[in-house]
Structure 1
Amino acid sequence: MAVIKTLTVALAASLTFGTAAFAQEFTARLSLDVQEGNPKYVAAENFANAVSEATDGAVKFQLFANGLLGGEVESAEGMRLGSVQAGIITSSVFATWIPEVQVLDLPFLFRDDAHAAAANAVLTERLASKFEEQGFHLLGFSINGARQPMSTFPVDAPSDVAGKKIRVIQSPIHIALWEAVGARPVPIPASEVYNAMQTGVVDMFDNTATNYLTFRFYEVAPHYTDLRHVYAMGSWVVAKSWWDSLPGEYQQSITKAATEVQAEAGPLLAEVDAASLAETEKLGATLHVVSDKQPWIELMEPVLAKFAPQIPGAEETIGAIKAIE
């Protein structure tokens, strides 16, 4: 009888443990460098809600806006260390670990917003294993925004920027692409852009439409030009250690939710960008659209030709992107 009792207790304990394991909740801290209401935040919020609904609340993504968990570099490092579980982080941040992502900084890689959005599947397929090797699980990409010239003077043709001092991010590619059109690149941290423009250290810089309004850049750069020479892409990543702890069915739910929300992110961003630019016009900004991009493309083509061979797998990735109709 003692043996039967022991077996009964063990079986009950096993069933209880199994039920608890199945009912286990998985919570992830998702880091964002933008404020609430920003299109990237809204996309992350839609994603978190979709995942919670698909898993009956078993998987929860807690959103931390305004860089509360650190900047983008710190958040990426946090995922490798386990202090952060997820984020939508600008792709160039990962270049230290995954040099293949530098392909996204090449000029005129995408024809337009729709082409950039359509490249998600190709980029994810080609880069997922590279992220995995470095401790990240890649869920895909979405557009953070297209980089646009913002200046103290009108910009249409490359000759308009010849000799002008332009603030650039600290990237050899970005320095080279502006040198190619005759400008004088000056690497300056993002936090110092407004003051650099205000004091005349630089004459122009490039950034995204939403930031033109949000950071009041129109005050120091009253001319905004639609050029879209480089797209800033957001990498949707989760810590591999956290991802590996999830049951397969939850992984499938997360992947599905991410893919669906990423498809919606582009139109949402376009809508917010349009509203932001309209508001800057009311505040005195002048908006320009480049009448002919071909001169820009031709002058920046050597930059692509120079740097692509230096980026692992870039030529194949570029070919796959160009083939997207």
Structure 2
Amino acid sequence: MTQSKFNRRQFGAIAAAGLATGVFMPSIARAQSTKALRLALHTQIDSEQNIAAMAFAEKVKDYSKGTLDVQVLPAAQMGGQREIIESVSIGVLEMGFGESGIYSSYVSQFGILALPYMYKDFDQWQRVVDGPVGQDLGARLEAAANVRVVNMLMGGYRSTFLRTKAINAPDDFHGVKIRLPEAPAFVKTFAALGATPTPIPAPEMYSALQTGVVDAMEGSLETGFTYKIYEVCKHLSLTRHILNDGSFVINTDFFASLSADEQDAITRAGIDSATEQRAAHFARTDMWLKRLVEEGGVEVNEPDLAPFMEKLSSLQDSFAAEANATDVLAQIRAA
């Protein structure tokens, strides 16, 4: 018996045994049918966005009966938020985490969702992002950028972290160099307050504060803790200037390549993971505030927000006019 004949016969015997036991060949079939997709985030591993991403991955695996495998890549492994969304748009990444301020680079009207003091409460925010406004903006984004919104997460209220002083009134922002996302709505907000807006990607904000490139940053309490901003900023002013969103998006062409059942798995998992994240958000925010004070040694002050609202009251209308979104603004106010 030659070696080649022995190998062929040996393989045939093993394969036959595998078919009989239901182990060998089915495992190969399963491996071949599994589709991997990457979900990239700029947020840290212990962020609620990453927790939601991990839950999403588990639900996708369950709902797709194992045909989809979501690999979560947190902590800016694939770059900052703008880079991530650009990568999803051109198909370098299958999925990413973004927010309305970033999407406004593709659809100017999306910036309306991130304007200061836009919502009277969380319930209004939900009616907006889950209703006709959110659906319409999502459709525009898909047409413009080739990315499909899978869900809407609660990004939370954004406040101000400062190196050397607290903010008690709008005039206290005068001349302050403040780090913020690369998003037009954020830039216009702080320019209107007299600050010097300085867009810097999230992975670079700690060093920018540490070296004095900027005097302050704005963001969620979770961001302040998970990025260890408390090490370089000992003042936290609860300006609560923007109630922010966040979302998982998927490349439209990749989504279209999936079966109907797999598309349904993505959609269901997106909704379920967002529902869970929203339900836990405010308790987590309280926890982050406590940790910033007790573990980070941050001094917290709560300024009267009425003067800030008055100072920025005209920004909503002017931004909407520039973005050709006066109809969107009217719908949000009526929600």
Change (3 A) 1:189 1:71: closer
Q: Using the alignment, how far apart are the partners of 2:178 and 2:89 within structure 1?
A: 35
Structure 2: unaligned runs, 5 residues or longer:
1-28
Identity %: 24
Q: Using the alignment, how far apart are the partners of 2:257 and 2:120 within structure 1?
A: 39
Cross-structure match for 1:271: 283
Is residue 136 of structure 1 aligned with residue 174 of structure 2?
Answer: no
Q: How many residues align?
A: 301
CA apart distance, 1:119: 2.7
Q: Using the alignment, how far apart are the partners of 2:79 and 2:232 within structure 1?
A: 28
Q: Using the alignment, how far apart are the partners of 1:319 and 1:272 within structure 2?
A: 32
Change (3 A) 1:220 1:50: same
Task: List per-residue Cα deviations over 1:211-248 (Å, max 9, x = no partner).
Answer: 21122222332221222212332132111111111222
CA apart distance, 1:158: 2.0
Find the partner of 2:220 among 186, 205, 208. Answer: 208
Q: Using the alignment, how far apart are the partners of 1:247 and 1:36 within structure 2?
A: 31
Cross-structure match for 1:251: 263
CA apart distance, 1:107: 1.4
Alignment of 1:25-44 (within 5 A): 25-44=34-53
CA apart distance, 1:144: 2.5
Q: Using the alignment, how far apart are the partners of 1:173 and 1:242 within structure 2?
A: 30
Cross-structure match for 1:287: 300
Cross-structure match for 2:16: none
Query: Does the 8 A contact of 1:138 with 1:238 survive in 2?
Result: yes
Change (3 A) 1:113 1:226: farther
Change (3 A) 1:129 1:179: closer
Q: Residue 166 of structure 1: SS of its match in structure 2?
A: strand
Cross-structure match for 2:318: 306
Q: Residue 188 of structure 2: SS of its match in structure 1?
A: helix
Task: List per-residue Cα deviations over 1:71-90 (Å, max 9, x = no partner).
Answer: 32332232233331111213
Is residue 146 of structure 1 aligned with residue 129 of structure 2?
Answer: no
Q: Residue 39 of structure 2: SS of its match in structure 1?
A: strand
Supply the RMSD in Å over aligned alpha carbons.
2.6
Q: Residue 140 of structure 1: SS of its match in structure 2?
A: coil
Find the partner of 1:317 among 312, 325, 328. Answer: 328
Q: Using the alignment, how far apart are the partners of 1:192 and 1:132 within structure 2?
A: 29
Query: Does the 8 A contact of 2:84 with 2:97 survive in 1?
Result: no
Cross-structure match for 2:188: 176
Cross-structure match for 2:26: none
Q: Using the alignment, how far apart are the partners of 1:42 and 1:136 within structure 2?
A: 22
Which amino acid in the other structure matches residue 135 of structure 1?
A: N
Return 183-192 or 222-231, whichever deviates more.
183-192
Q: Residue 119 of structure 1: SS of its match in structure 2?
A: helix
Q: Using the alignment, how far apart are the partners of 1:192 and 1:71 within structure 2?
A: 9
Q: Residue 124 of structure 1: SS of its match in structure 2?
A: helix
Which amino acid in the other structure matches residue 333 of structure 2?
A: K
Q: Using the alignment, how far apart are the partners of 1:194 and 1:71 within structure 2?
A: 13
Q: Residue 313 of structure 2: SS of its match in structure 1?
A: helix
Q: Residue 116 of structure 2: SS of its match in structure 1?
A: coil
Structure 1: unaligned runs, 5 residues or longer:
1-19
Find the partner of 1:80 among 89, 92, 112. Answer: 89
Q: Using the alignment, how far apart are the partners of 1:72 and 1:188 within structure 2?
A: 12
Q: Residue 301 of structure 1: SS of its match in structure 2?
A: coil
CA apart distance, 1:43: 0.4
